[in-house]
Amino acid sequence: MNPTTNALRAGVRRGLIELRATFTNGQDLWNYFFPTVVLLVAVFWMRGSTVPGTDFSLGARTLPSALGMGLLFGGLLGLAQQLIVDREDGTLLRAKAIPDGMLGYLVGKLVLVSAISLIGVTIQLTPGLFFLDGLRLGDPGAWLTLAWVVPLGLVATLPLGAVIGSVIENPRNMGLVVLPIFGLIALSGIFYPINGLPGWVQGVAQVFPLYWLGLGMRSALLPADLAAVELGGSWRHLETLGVLGAWAVLGLVLAPVVLRRMARRESGSRVAARRERAMQRVG
Amino acid sequence: MTATDSLDAVAPTGPPDEGLVLDVRDLRMRYGSTDVLHGVDLTARRGEVVALLGPNGAGKTTTIEILEGFRLPSAGTVRVLGVDPARGDERWRARLGVVLQSWRDHGKWRVGELLAHLGDFYAPYATDRVRRPWPVDDLLATVGLTAHAGTRVARLSGGQRRRLDVAVGIVGRPELLFLDEPTVGFDPAARREFHELVHRLTDTDATTIVLTTHDLAEAEKLADRILILAGGRIVAEGSPDQLARRVASDAEVRWTRDGERYVHATADATGFLRDLLREHGDRVRELEVRRASLEDAYLALVHEEETGIRTGRAERVWQQQEEATR
């Protein structure tokens, strides 16, 4: 048996076991469903308003955008959070202590975080279909677009999450990442179109993946004529592919280097020291 | 404690001995300007149990982390199963078992599930001689966790959790097992069970074990050889018997004279008493002679090393050691 193949398989099993564990844990379930409920309530109240320049429901436009945001939250923040927690409790060191364990660990995490993101999209989208008009899920084209936007979104965000999770050691410092992302949400047209914002703000937003994740999800789920009110009056699939692809490449180049460096420095005394700090935080 | 002890020795004094599971020469570790290890020499043969004994901060964990390949030494030659841990590959990793000090991981997993999963990684490294991994049911029985196979890890008691850590450490049937403070937080019954487990491992599988502890009784019970580490160097080394015999000659004499208390430590209690009584005769009262236990010796050694105040006792142990190796 080839050790690498064996570790890849064990990694997939690991992801599935952790998936089952997290979806049978009350605290975790609350963490998944609470934001979903908040989002759905918000979208519900927005369903009567319209997207400026159209008579299309603002709620129906917001839901796909928020799904794109969910991919960023899941892939980037989700993975980063997992890495930080696993380093603090010794899971990562455990993986390091067994042969091919880091490979298995990483595969397991990617499976887990991707699955959580996909489940997140499903549990947000499904209830929305019942009270929002205009989402075109019956159209095969919608599924075709989802089939590349969602995986590309994850490939663009997961490596960034791995980098952030490797660089940040103290869970408290996650705020350094979360706050800018909240700022970015406001700029990226998730809850309201950004056509009215100054050109330079639009420019900044379009550098980051969040804008394109929202746009890609809208292009999949909204009727074709809604493209007219996007920047440039089109769904701009090529540009979406380009920007998300560039972030994916950047992440995939950086992540292995940063992950390896982080893993190399991991040791029992580091875990113990972190634990000490965590105890002080609690106490 | 001969040539390898010279301060500038960097190269090993000979070719690495292939029969040794562990061969460490002149290991040094420095953080910034602080030296944590000042030239540690350490060997272990197949099936041997070596205890690294010492107070907190003596460098035990640093030493063991270097051997595990989790930390790079500043200088010295290290061979673990014939391989430099800094260059150890996954094949090498598969022959080691590691039990670290504090682990709280995999809390949501079930005990049996975790052992089966971690064991899976060892399957490709099975050989004709060593079948890997250890079957989960057997392993659970060996560490006494059969009844908890379906329990979530987070719900285990401290002692059970530690036994799970040991089970994870041996799931790959390691040739060399590192145990860092394995019984901290154990009650006496759990401690005894753990000691029996260690004996089983060395008896049936000829596993070499390196364990750290600050519990002298534990080192005495488990180890074939004890190395006392204090202030980043090995201050004494030998079988529990040898160490005890070495310090057994050291006695403490207490007496009062003219209402004042006196204490004197000496290797030759009889000779000292003869002189004392000849000199002061009747004025010596409340005379008491106490032979030092291994524990006293250990505490004295550690105290001297940490404070730098030589009471002479540690030096005598050194001298005897040199005589023994000559």
pLDDT reported for residue B197:
86
pLDDT (tens digit, 9 = 90+) per residue, B44-70?
A: 999 999 999 888 778 888 999 999 999
pLDDT reported for residue B4:
40
Give how many domains chain A has, as a whole number.
1
Residue A144 has pLDDT above 50, yes or no: yes
Q: How confident is the model at residue B6 (pLDDT cuts 50, 70, 90)?
A: very low
DSSP label at residue A210: H
Closest by Cα among A117, A6, A94, A22 to B109: A22
Q: How confident is the model at residue B292 (pLDDT cuts 50, 70, 90)?
A: low
In percent, the amount of chain A with pLDDT more than 70 equals 99
What count of CB pairs under 8 Å joins A to B? 94
Distance from CA of A68 to the nearest CA of B (A): 29
Q: Quick check: B103 and A13 CB within 8 A? A: no
Residue B11 has pLDDT above 60, yes or no: no
Residue A180 has pLDDT above 70, yes or no: yes
pTM of structure = 0.84
pLDDT reported for residue B9:
37
Helix (H, G, I), strand (E, B) or coil at B213: strand
Picking from B29, B81, B91, B108 by the largest number of A CB atoms within 10 A of its own CB, the best residue to mutate is B108
pLDDT reported for residue A212:
97
Q: Given the structure tokens 């070719």, which residue do they identify?
A: B15
Q: Quick check: A10 and B117 CB within 8 A? A: yes
DSSP label at residue B12: -
User: Residues B137, B69, B67, B234: what is their CA dihedral angle, to the nearest 10 degrees?
Assistant: -140
Contacts 24+ apart (CB under 8 A), A39-47: A39/A63, A39/A66, A39/A124, A40/A124, A40/A127, A40/A128, A42/A191, A43/A128, A43/A132, A44/A131, A47/A131, A47/A132, A47/A133
Distance from CA of B125 to the nearest CA of A (A): 8
Q: Quick check: A21 and B109 CB within 8 A? A: yes
Q: Pick from A137-141, A174-178, A245-249, B14-18 the range whose average pLDDT is largest.
A: A245-249
Cα separation of A152 and B160, whole Å?
Answer: 44
pLDDT (tens digit, 9 = 90+) per residue, A222-272?
A: 999 899 989 988 999 999 999 999 999 999 999 989 998 888 888 877 888
pLDDT (tens digit, 9 = 90+) per residue, B149-204?
A: 999 999 998 888 888 999 999 999 999 999 988 887 777 887 888 888 888 888 88
Q: Report chain B residues whose CB lies below 8 A from the CB of A271.
A: 100, 102-103
Q: Report chain B residues whose CB lies below 8 A from the CB of A275.
A: 102, 104
Helix (H, G, I), strand (E, B) or coil at A195: coil
Mean pLDDT of A189-209: 92
Residue B217 has pLDDT above 80, yes or no: yes
Q: Which domain holds residue A251?
A: 3-282
Q: How far is CA B84 from the centre of its chain?
A: 21
pLDDT reported for residue B312:
55
In this structure, are residues A121 and A67 in contact, taking their beta carbons and an 8 Å threshold? Answer: yes
pLDDT reported for residue B7:
39
Q: How confident is the model at residue B310 (pLDDT cuts 50, 70, 90)?
A: low
Mean pLDDT of A111-129: 94
Residue B2 has pLDDT above 50, yes or no: no
pLDDT (tens digit, 9 = 90+) per residue, B234-275?
A: 888 888 878 776 665 567 888 998 888 888 888 788 888 899
Q: Report chain A residues whose CB lies below 8 A from the CB of B172.
A: 98-99
N- to C-terminal Cα separation, chain A: 48
pLDDT reported for residue B281:
83
Q: Quick check: B120 and A10 CB within 8 A? A: yes
In this structure, are residues B109 and A17 in contact, taking their beta carbons and an 8 Å threshold? Answer: yes
pLDDT reported for residue B61:
87
Whats the size of chain A, residue-wise? 283
CA-nearest residue to A95 within chain B is B118
Predicted-complex ipTM score: 0.87
Spell out the domains of chain B, with CATH numbers in brackets: 3-239 (3.40.50.300), 242-325 (no CATH)
CA-nearest residue to B178 within chain A is A97
Q: Quick check: A86 and B98 CB within 8 A? A: no
Residue B315 has pLDDT above 60, yes or no: no
- Geometric angle at alpha carbon B125, from B123 and B131, rounded to 5°: 70
